[in-house]
Amino acid sequence: MNVCYLNLDGNLNSPALWVFWAACGLLAYAYAGYPILLAAISVFAPKRTGKAGYCPSVTVLISAYNEEKSIGRKIRDTLALDYPPAKLDILVVSDCSTDATDQVVRELRDPRVRLLRVEGRRGKTFAQNEGVRQCSGEVVVFSDATTVYHPQSIRRLMAHYADPKVGAVSGRYKYFDAEGASPTGLGSVAFWNYENLIKMMQSRIATLTGCSGCIYSVRKSCYVPLPQDACSDLVEALRIVENGFRVAFEPAALAYEETTVSSRQEFRMRVRVGTRGMRGVLGVPRLLTPWRRPWIAFQLTSHKIMRWLVPVFLVACFVSCSALAAQPLFRWLFALQVAFYGFALLSLVLPVHRYWKLLGLPLFFCTLNGAVAVSLVEVVRGRRYTTWETVRTGPAAGAVAATEGR
């Protein structure tokens, strides 16, 4: 029997082989192993449902910066949602907008709509902190000016608050590419469908450790003011869990959001979100200690930290495979990686996704993980993101209706 021994000359027992298979195993766990494990555990978890008809008072807090094109329609759509009018009001927090956003809100002249202007451009999280203090509702729903809600979304979210142990409830993103022109549009849609599935299983087993930024709600008495640079939909959920409450997920509470229209926009947005998210998780070290909160530590490690390390695993896989390229199997695997990354680069200059949407997936994958890699560097450098720029102009109501057939 022939035995291959490891050495550094490229045969099958070199350290590069161990690095390659370890990297592949970690990638497989990050993207597939953890969801499969959640699915297996959730089979034995009791189904959690809200109490239909439970309707506490609600304030919808809309953070806005230069949203004159979207804010009027957003307010009108919110007031028309299927929820008791006497229990629903809206607070628009304008983060020192320089366009006509404030004027549009004032001109609506509806007693259920209020405007709070924050001077000095302090960022979304600061604006939310200030806004919550002025909210009159028992529950605060956080939304963006460009997000369109399903008519029953708030009613669906509120059903969970009949349980006093629930401190926050997240709805579900539904992204769509209205014009079919976004090079990363299909990737965004697929990614968030995948993320929503994970959220649903996490909620069924115990609790979420993060919410969907455009549609999440918090019991006002549970709200924790956050630092300006905190990613509020992630860190607020973690603080609520840390305080002993549960964060639920309601898949029927739908929020429609249009994808970014370019890979540059997608990249910049994900660097900002990734950096804020990493700093947020590092800011709750007690939740990362398995001897204190084993299930929460497991979720954060598997779902967040492992994902943030994917660029490291990808580099390890690429470099180790190149070192093993003397072997036919690894030569082919290395060639496949080169072709994949090369095609992603080609997609930056040629709109190949317009011929077949699946061709945009390599670019989305590389954009996503490239942004994570930059976020890791930004965290090490101590970079903080507090403000945001308006990117999406908001989906037309007709586009959303066509997407869901409403």
In this structure, which amino acid lies at residue 253? A
Examine the pLDDT at 350 and tell me if it is beyond 60.
yes
Of 175 and 148, the structure prediction assigns the larger pLDDT to: 148
Give me the residue spans of the domains in the chain: 58-293
pLDDT for res 386? 73
Tens of pLDDT, residue by residue over 140-174, are 999 999 999 999 999 999 999 999 999 999 999 88
Among 214, 213, 216, 210, smallest CA distance to 235 is for: 210
pLDDT for res 74? 96
Tens of pLDDT, residue by residue over 28-83, are 999 999 999 999 999 888 877 888 889 999 999 999 999 999 999 999 999 999 99
How far apart are the C-alpha atoms of 230 and 70, rounded to whole Å?
25
pLDDT for res 396? 47
Among 223, 236, 86, 212, smallest CA distance to 147 is for: 212
pLDDT grade for 181, boundaries at 50, 70 and 90: low
pLDDT grade for 406, boundaries at 50, 70 and 90: very low
Is residue 153 a contact partner of residue 217, using CB atoms and an 8 Å limit?
Answer: no
pLDDT for res 197? 92
Per the rule left: phi > 0, alpha: psi between -120 and 50, beta: everything else, 350 is beta
Give the three-class secondary structure for 229.
coil
H helix count then E strand count, the chain: 15, 8
First-last CA distance in the chain? 67
In this structure, which amino acid lies at residue 96? C
Superfamily of domain 58-293: Spore Coat Polysaccharide Biosynthesis Protein SpsA; Chain A (3.90.550.10)
Tens of pLDDT, residue by residue over 276-326, are 899 989 888 899 999 889 999 999 999 999 999 999 999 999 999 999 998
pLDDT grade for 191, boundaries at 50, 70 and 90: confident
Tens of pLDDT, residue by residue over 106-139, are 999 899 999 999 998 888 899 999 999 999 999 9
